[in-house]
C-alpha cells in the first residue's frame, strides 16, 4: 500500500514529501525514515483536502478516512495540536488571509465592491 510521508524541518515546515510502498506500521516507517534521512517524518494523505476525504475526485462516503486535513506539500506547516492527528496547513497566500480551523485552509477576504463614480 502506498503511503505518503512529509519531512519536517525544525520549524515544522514541510521540506519534502516521499512515497513508500509498504505495509509496516506508521510508527515503524517514521522511525526508519528518521534514522535513514534525519528530521521528523509525518504521514500525509493525498486524498484529503480541507478536512474531507475524496475518492477519484468525489467526496467519499466514508469520511473517517480524512487524515490531517490537507495533503502536505513543500512549504506547508504541520500543526500537531490541530484536531486528533494534527493538520498540514498551506502557506498563507496573503497577509490578510484568515485560517479556517474547520478545514485548515486559508480564507482570503473579498474586497467590497467600489461604488461607481459619477461622471462630471
Mind listing the pLDDT tens digit for each residue in 28-77?
999 999 999 999 999 999 999 999 999 999 999 999 989 999 999 999 99
**What average pLDDT does range 82-100 have in this prediction?**
95
Q: For position 88, what pLDDT does the model report?
A: 98
Indicate if the alpha-carbon torsion angle 14, 20, 23, 25 is positive or negative: negative
Taking only the tens place, the pLDDT of each residue in 1-18 is: 889 999 999 999 999 999
Distant-in-sequence, close-in-space partners of 85: CB < 8 Å, separation ≥ 6: 67, 68
Residue spans of the domains in the chain: they are: 2-107
Report pTM. 0.85
Q: Which helix (H) or strand (E) holds 35?
A: helix 26-37
Question: What is the Cα–Cα distance from 29 to 27, expressed in whole angstroms?
Answer: 6
CA angle, residues 92, 94, 99, in degrees to nearest 5: 45
103: left (phi over 0), alpha (psi -120 to 50) or beta: alpha
Report the chain's mean pLDDT, rounded to a whole number: 92
Amino acid at each position: 500500500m502506498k503511503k505518503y510521508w512529509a519531512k519536517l524541518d525544525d520549524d515544522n515546515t514541510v521540506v519534502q514529501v516521499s512515497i513508500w510502498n509498504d505495509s509496516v506500521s506508521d510508527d515503524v516507517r517514521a522511525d526508519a525514515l528518521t534514522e535513514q534521512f534525519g528530521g521528523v517524518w509525518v504521514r500525509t494523505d493525498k486524498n484529503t483536502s480541507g478536512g474531507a476525504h475524496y475518492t477519484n475526485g468525489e467526496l467519499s462516503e466514508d469520511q473517517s478516512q480524512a487524515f490531517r486535513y490537507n495533503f502536505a506539500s513543500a512549504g506547508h506547516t504541520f500543526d500537531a495540536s490541530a484536531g486528533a492527528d494534527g493538520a498540514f496547513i498551506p502557506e498563507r497566500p496573503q497577509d490578510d488571509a484568515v485560517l479556517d480551523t474547520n478545514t485548515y485552509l486559508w480564507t482570503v477576504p473579498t474586497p467590497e465592491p467600489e461604488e461607481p463614480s459619477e461622471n462630471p
